[in-house]
Amino acid sequence: MFYREAGQFKTSYKADQALFPILQDRIGIAAILLIAFVAIPLFASDFFLTSIMIPFLVFALAAIGLNVLTGYCGQLSLGTGAFMGVGAYAAYKLTTAFPDANVIVMVLLSGVFSAAIGAVFGLPSLRIKGLYLAVTTLAAQFFLEWCFIRIPWLYNDNASGAIEVPRREMFGFIVTGAEALPITRYFVVLCITAGIAYLMANVLRGRIGRSWMMIRDMDIAAELMGVRPLQTKLMAFAVSSYICGVAGAMMVFFWLNAAEPSSYSIRLSFQILFMVILGGLGSLGGAFMGAAFIWILPVLLKFVPGMLGMDIAAETVEHATFMIVGALIIFFLIVEPHGFARLWQIAKQKLRVWPFPY
Amino acid sequence: MLYDIFIDPFVQMYDMPDFFLQVLWEGFVAGILYALIALGFVLIFKASGVFNFAQGIMVVFAGLTLVGLHENGVPAYLALILTIGVMGVLAYGVERVVMRPLVNQPEIILLMATIGLTYFLVGFGEFVFGGEPKQMITQELGLPTGSTAFEIGDRGLIILQHIDIAAAVIAVIMVTALGLFFNKTRIGRALRAVADDHQAALSVGISLNQIWAIVWFAAGLVALATGIMWGARSDVSFALEIVAFKALPVLILGGFTSIPGAIVGGLIIGFGEKIGELYWGGLVGGGVESWLAYIIALVFLLFRPQGLFGERIIERI
Amino acid sequence: MNAFVADRAPAPVEDAGERELLLRVDNVSLAFGGVKAITDISFDIRKGEIRAIIGPNGAGKTSMLNVINGFYHPQEGTITWQGKVRRKMKPYEAASQGIARTFQNVALFKGMTTLDNIMSGRSLKMHRNFFWQLLWRGPAEREEIAHRRKVEDIIDFLEIQAIRKTPVGRLPYGLQKRVELGRALAMEPELLLLDEPMAGMNLEEKEDMSRFIIDVNQEFGTTIALIEHDMGVVMDLSDRVVVLDYGKKIADGPPEEVQASQAVIDAYLGVSH
Amino acid sequence: MFQGKKRHMVGSASASPRGEDTFPKILLHNAKVLGNRTAFREKEFGIWQSWTWSGVLEEIRAFSIGLQSLGLTAGDKIAIVGANRPRLYWAMVAAQALGAVPVPVYADSVAEEMAFVLGHAEVRFAVVEDQEQVDKLLSMAGEVPSLQHIIYDEPRGLRDYDHTRLHDYASVQEIGRDKLRQSPSLADEWERGFAGATGADIAVMLYTSGTTGRPKGVMLSFDNLIVSARNANIFDHLDESEEVLAYLPMAWIGDHVFSLAQAFTAGYCVNCPENMDTIDVDRREIAPTYFFAPPRVFENMLTMIMVRMEDAGKAKRAMFDYFMGVARKVGEKILNGETVGLKDRLLYRLGEFMVYGPLKNRMGLTRMKVGYTAGEAIGPEIFQFYRSLGLNLKQLYGQTEASVYITLQPDGEIYGDTVGKPAPQVELKIADNGEVMYRSPGVFVGYFKNDEATASTKTEDGWVHTGDAGIIADNGHLKIIDRAKDVGKLTDGALFAPKYIENKLKFFPNIKEAVAFGHERDMVGVFINIDLTAVGSWAERNNVNYASYQELAAHPDVYRMIEGHVDQVNRDLAREPMMAGAQIRRFLVLHKELDADDGELTRTQKVRRSFITERYGPLIEALYDGSSEKYVSTEVTFEDGRKGAIEATVEIRDMALHVAGKSFQEAAE
């Protein structure tokens, strides 16, 4: 209906292979970017930024990271939380070791460490597939979590056993630490998430993205077409872990300010996995939709009783939220196992062929 | 350093055989409990190909229901029967609401659904029973609580908790019962038929839906037993959920569909974990129990990807 | 039986058996556990020919292809590829040395479009590294476009323009087979292995596929080894035929000769054909 | 900004009459003033390859000089065989630059037919699309002794052919480019070569497919084409900004005028689709602003819409039906600029957003400024459907012999049952026998090597017999009834206009083709061909199982449905005093689809009545001898040229007649 594609034709491969070849999609993306970069900063409250937008963007980035591995390369991972933790601890160590260095560079650099560790734990993927691989990543999850607790060097021997983000400035703005303004943090998180999402979109539409999908769809055929399975999978592990690492670092640096090992527990892994599955395996847009659903829904649910004028204990609300989220997850898996991205695709297809059914 | 790794632990084992035997016993008991959890997984996986992540929370849920009912004045044995009933309702509900609509979906989707179920049960359990740890009603159920010490010649003594012995006995009884159930009863044979070939099972006139309900119920019973045993050793709390993840390495070792595999795998992990923790864990600051099981499974996987009881896979194109 | 085959351009002057050697299989044996799939087989494939491998079901034909492109490693025997003798080779090495193939049961990448599937065949020829790919603009995009152009030639060649952007999972079987051929062609192989390219096709689709195979052989000079059940097709297409039965070679030579061989007749009569 | 404006002014000017009187000269002009505008596009290798006017000049010049060095000279005939491709259009102009005459030939005509045309035209050269055409031409080399060189566009599969008389298009162009490189003055020389040509020279020879007898070569001069084209451009305000889709056979005058003559004179862009399977997609991508199609195309699009809407959900269908109702009520009025109430106007706006806009988008007609249908009568419902969507679809009446245009419907003067007013500079009259005659600048020079036919078609003073019977209404619009020679009488003297009846039948989507008999007989009998798409989809919805066309056609439920349609037509006929006497008494549903490959249809999909009369003699007999069924065996030609036979026993149904002049309700009682 809204997709009026008549008259949109491509006279070059460049245009044909653009990220958004359809004019209406380009308009939509421009509108979203406008909202994210202009409307939200202008109108949003601090609470909205801190409790909704910043975590949403952080989780969206983590979901992109996991999606690269699970959605595009077909390798199941339950260790996302730990890989995020590696990023967080690495960024913390880096910025405390080099206090004068630009903190954003440190955050981006921290991903390199999680990439390396991710690749190591990806090694068994050559021989192991599916649920068996999940064990490998669980091993990573528990082993790394243990490291965060047992290696005091990682948290600079803090008595609390947690990492506390120091104050860092950039171009005269305080970007990290307790005094950093939500709006500043929001812009940093938004730029990094949007930037990495764009770069990944580039990788995914090129040779490397294709080779991941080849492995995912039919690994034997991929190998017979000249794709080296180990290299390709390891690269997916590394890239995925890099992104998760950066997301993990952002999580503590721009959102939580301080983090304990339990922040990066298996629960987080599952949370991210849900975002990916519900958002849609193999879709970058889906990662955002999944993150919005899993993060924002519970936040909203907390306000529902209040809005309805009910006086319910915070605990009860939390329990109810768990139940509702659990039930909704099952519901959406039943309605559309391929996630919101597929739902959107179906809707888009309907709009494109409107008023016809096909 | 090398000495600490390769020599010292063995010297200790020799020097203090009573301690070593005590460790082995601890490992054995832990292994039995792992095996029980794994058993729950195997039952469901065998019949439906679903890797049921909710098995862990089912253990907690069963334990909480039992204790919760008792706290509200229900006599222990009645509470036990009621809890069995609750597990039956849960099994039926899961089959109806989750399994049936998701039949034929890829395994990762089913896995996710069971994690969704976990969320739901966590919320529901906390909603009804509150989040605090509870004391298992061991005595009220007539389970032994004392302990017996055995002397090992002149080298010291080991202490066996009666509840642990009971756990071992119950585990053996459950495995035997399940074995008989699978091999001797009509439904049991039907279950095996399903595991081997869905089409074949359908053709002999067995309803898949019934079978799933039964299997989930059986897994619920196993969960209840596990919950009682585990709860008696510590508390009944949501922390127990994490134990369920241990089932994964157990299954890797034993294979996803083998009941004996689950037992053997559970024992290997139990022994390995305790021995590793007590003799080597100190070297790296302790707490290795949390991940050692996975590393054992991982190493094992690299050499034998098909598991202990699986057959070698020949890839075909 | 196929009218178009008559259109095939003047028969090659030289005898296929005398062309340059591309691949030789010497005394290869392969077993799974105790089961022998291939026993002591030797034959060769010469440059530019269409070589058929035929035989009753379970004769070891697919296993033979799997050995040639490195998916199975024979316990005994050697394979000489372009003059180099080898025992063992990883599948991706075989691919990089110019061996491409299609599969008996279509093995397309189901989540991708026709275009992407064929583009995937160009993987080995694309080299821009990860960091160029991140940027996209510039070298990575230029490389992508250059290969897209080549892929479009194949799409044009196979007449599948109308399904360019259709996910392959939605295509009918015959078209999937054609896309799979396109994917293999995108590798610009020296040797193209086709495992039952016409299985499950109707007459018209078979004729189309035969025409494509002949065109590939003639336009690009690609050497082709194919497994096929339809004897009419085999006799029309191939220069030389090797016949397997129970993992053993029972005949080898030009189609007419093989067709007349008593061993072959027995083998086919033995199986209910 | 400035440049855009300037270009526009120049462009508008180029649409008006001016000095250039041949296509090569217009090409030079366009390359000069419209140099960077896109002249041609072709979807190839997944994208729209584009050429500007100056690029086209370069391409044509190179090819033309290449042709020259192969020996093409003034007066030679050069055949053009293939689907719409820029290179084939260019070949025509390249040949014209040398004074040679292009002869476009229907690419899908059977070898025998093509051999006749090529032989008759004495072609020396042929420019063809691909191997298929090369093979066809080589196979008829014996019948076309004049043919010396074949040039192909698509080299695939031709590598091993003997290339002494066979050339790759690109290599011919390369010869030209080489020569141009060697002597730069050659370009000027080439231009001087056609500077002396005049508008009176023969531009092209088009063979009319001819419903009867051998095809005739219609010779059209540059003046014929260029004056007609310029008039049409002015009439519909067409300029260089238009986009058209070239998808109709190149040998057909319609395509020649729309995709070449008008494109060159207006300077607009011609787009060639990727192949026949992708036309719908390609049309949507290009969204032509000026669109031409025979009624069949509009019928098919409408059928497609209706079939798909049948599968839509209830709510959606209700919405669709509602808004189509709104469109039927006010759509045409709004298009014609009549006053419409505010509520209806708003509803129509909403409908435009919800339904009409998306529909036009799906059909690729969003940008259509003006569209024409011609060739045959279009069903009024179909015609109104498109107009009610806000599409400025109009009818025209034309002929090859007239360089298309005889009458046109001017904007705002659209009447479903007429074909419009005389086109600019066209004079019209009705002969005593009712035949329509015209005289115009577009009137052809003559039939090639057929003076007799020329003389019988064109009078001394330039009037041309159209062969159609018609009347000029009071408002000056022409109304066509039927072919003049086909209008006959039943034995009881009632007027029998077969086409009229057939068209009424064909307006039902389920009926693809109909052939009516009755001249000098005591009643009207009809053959009906069902539409496989529409009826097949109906069968699917109603759980009617069938294995083949034949089985579907003979299905009792299908017969019942068709019977309903025939009855409806009879009711309609009964209401018209002139036609009431010729209602359909008996009909049958043919067991096979009428097919051009079997000679039953012309290449433009018109029924070959005489051929069918001969071929299905027994069935016609059965229509009139009262039998209720008839066994028949029919020879058919398969796509690969093999022959076979279809056998069937065809059922014949009797129909009740309606009383003349009675209204629908009365008749139903």
Q: What is the chain A residue with the closest CA to C104?
A: A221
- Residue A132 is predicted with a pLDDT of 78
- B203-207, B267-271, D599-603: least confidently modelled range: B203-207
- Average pLDDT for chain C: 86
Q: Which two tokens stand for residue D544?
A: 């009617």
Residue of C nearest to D47 (CA): C152
Q: Do residues A125 and A233 touch, judged by C-beta distance below 8 A?
A: yes
- Chain C hits for B314, CB-CB cut-off 8 Å, are 32
Mean pLDDT to the nearest integer, D454-474: 88
Residue D414 tokens, joined: 């659209």
Per-residue b or e along D273-295, where b marks 16 or more CB atoms closer than 10 Å to that residue's CB: bbeeebbbbbbbbbbbbbbbbbb
User: Which chain A residues touch D360 with a CB distance below 8 Å?
Assistant: 6
**In contact, D59 and D90? CB cutoff 8 Å:** yes
What's the mean pLDDT in B158-187?
Answer: 81
Closest chain A residue to the Cα of C151, Cα to Cα: A13
> Where do the domains of chain A lie?
22-263
Task: Tell if the CB–CB gap between A6 and D367 is shorter than 8 Å.
Answer: yes
The answer to whether the beta carbons of residues A254 and A188 sit under 8 Å apart is: yes
Q: Which residues contact A257 (CB under 8 A, 6 or more apart)?
A: A164, A165, A176, A177, A178
Q: Which two tokens stand for residue D381?
A: 């419902």
pLDDT tens digit sequence for C200-227: 888 888 999 999 999 999 888 899 999 9
- pLDDT of D70 reads 95
Is the model's pLDDT at A197 over the cut of 60?
yes
Optimal mutation site among B314, B316, B317, interface C, most CBs of chain C within 10 A: B317
Contact criterion met (CB < 8 Å) for A7 and D354: no
Say yes or no for a CB contact (<8 Å) between D309 and A5.
Answer: no
Does C146 reach chain B within 8 Å, measured CB to CB? Answer: no
The topology (CATH level 3) of C1-98+189-273 is: Rossmann fold (3.40.50)
**Cα(B52)–Cα(D136) distance, rounded to whole angstroms?**
67
Residue pLDDT, tens place only, C76-92? 899 999 888 887 778 88
The predicted structure's pLDDT at residue B56: 85
Shortest Cα distance, chain B CAs vs residue C192, angstroms: 16
Encoded amino acid at B317, one letter? I
ipTM of the prediction: 0.82
**Residue D584: pLDDT over 60:** yes
Name chain D contacts of C9, Cβ cutoff 8 Å: 159-161
Query: What is chain A's alpha carbon radius of gyration, rounded to the nearest angstrom?
Result: 21
Take residue C25 and report the two structure tokens written for it.
């299989």
Residue-wise pLDDT tens digits, D529-538: 999 888 988 8
- Rounded to a whole number of angstroms, the distance from the CA of A13 to the nearest CA of chain C is 6
pLDDT computed for residue D578 by the predictor: 65
The domain made up of D2-286 has a fold known as Rossmann fold (3.40.50)
Q: How far apart are CA D207 and CA D447, in angstroms?
A: 9
Averaged pLDDT score across all residues of chain A: 90
Averaged pLDDT for residues B150-157: 71
Is the model's pLDDT at C3 over the cut of 50? no
> For residue range D492-511, what is the model confidence (pLDDT) as tens digits?
877 788 888 888 898 888 99
Quick check: A178 contacting B, CB < 8 Å?
no
Give yes or no for residue D481 having a pLDDT over 80: no
Higher pLDDT, residue A99 or B203: A99
pLDDT of D9 > 60? The answer is: no
Given this model, what pLDDT does residue A63 score? 97
* pLDDT one-digit tens code per residue, D353-394: 999 999 999 999 999 999 999 877 787 788 999 999 999 999
Residue B99 scores a pLDDT above 50: yes
User: What's the pLDDT at D4?
Assistant: 37
At D40, list the tokens. Answer: 């041609």
**Shortest distance, CA D269 to any CA of chain A (angstroms):** 13
* Residues B250-292 pLDDT 10s: 888 887 777 788 888 888 888 888 888 888 877 777 777 778 8
CB of B251 closer than 8 Å to CB of B262: yes
Interface test with C, best of D45, D134, D281, D284 (most C CBs within 10 A): D45
Cβ contacts (< 8 Å) between A325 and chain B: which residues?
119, 123
Regarding beta strands B157-161 and D290-293, do their DSSP bridges make them parallel or antiparallel, or are they unpaired?
A: unpaired
Under 8 Å between Cβ of C227 and C54? yes
The answer to whether residue B17 scores a pLDDT higher than 90 is: no
B317 falls within a domain: no
Partner-chain residue, chosen from A9, A16, A355, that has the shortest CB–CB distance to D358: A355
Q: Which chains would you list as touching A if contact means 3+ CB atom pairs under 8 Å? A: B, C, D
- Is residue B150 pLDDT above 80, yes or no? no
Shortest Cα distance from D344 to chain A (angstroms)?
A: 21
What are the structural domain ranges in chain C? 1-98+189-273, 108-188
B315 pLDDT tier (thresholds 50, 70, 90): low
pLDDT at D100 over 90: yes
Residue range D398-485 in CATH 2.30.38.10:
yes
Burial of D461 (0-12, 13-18, 19+ CB in 10 A): exposed
C96–chain D nearest CA distance, Å: 26
pLDDT (0 to 100) of residue D1 = 36
Cross-chain Cβ contact D309/A355 below 8 Å: yes
Average pLDDT of the residues in D100-118: 91
Answer yes or no: is pLDDT of D135 > 60.
yes
Phi-psi region of D166 (alpha: psi -120 to 50; beta: other; left: phi over 0): beta
CATH class in words for D488-668 = alpha beta
Residue of A nearest to C102 (CA): A221
Residue numbers in A near C145 (CB within 8 A): 13-14, 17
Please compute the mean of the pLDDT values over residues D257-284 and round it to a whole number: 94
Q: Residue C273 above 70 pLDDT?
A: no
How far are the Cα atoms of C59, C178, C252, D131, D491 from residue C54, in angstroms, in the given order? 8, 21, 10, 32, 71
Contact D277 C10 (CB under 8 A): no
Distance from C-alpha of D526 to C-alpha of A237, rounded to nearest angstrom: 72
Cα three-residue angle D222-D226-D229, rounded to 5 degrees: 145
- In the prediction, which pLDDT does D405 show? 94
How far is the C-alpha of C114 from the C-alpha of C155, rounded, in Å?
9
pLDDT digits (tens, 9 = 90+) for A155-181: 888 888 889 999 998 888 888 888 889
- The residue whose two tokens read 């059928």 is D303
Window 151-190 of C, Cβ < 8 Å to A: 183, 187
Physical contact, B and D (3 or more Cβ pairs within 8 A): no
Q: Is the pLDDT of residue C6 over 90?
A: no
pLDDT tens column, D411-426:
888 887 789 999 999 9
Residues of chain D contacting C215 with CB distance shorter than 8 Å: 156-157
- Residue D665: band (very low, low, confident or very high) from pLDDT cuts 50, 70, 90: very low
pLDDT for C229 beyond 50? yes
Whether this model's pTM surpasses 0.80: yes
Is residue D166 pLDDT above 90, yes or no? yes
Torsion angle of the four alpha carbons D503, D509, D513, D518, in this order, in degrees rounded to the nearest 10: -50
Q: Which residue in chain A has the smallest CA separation from D316?
A: A355
Contact D168, D174 (CB under 8 A): no
Least Cα separation, residue D360 to chain C (angstroms): 21
Chains that touch D (3 or more CB pairs under 8 A): A, C
Span C166-200, pLDDT tens digits: 999 999 999 999 999 999 999 999 999 999 998 88
Q: What percent of chain D has pLDDT over 70?
A: 94
Question: Which of A3, A8, A357 faces D312 most closely, judged by CB atoms?
Answer: A357
CB distance from A310 to chain B under 8 Å? no
**Residue C167 DSSP one-character state:** B
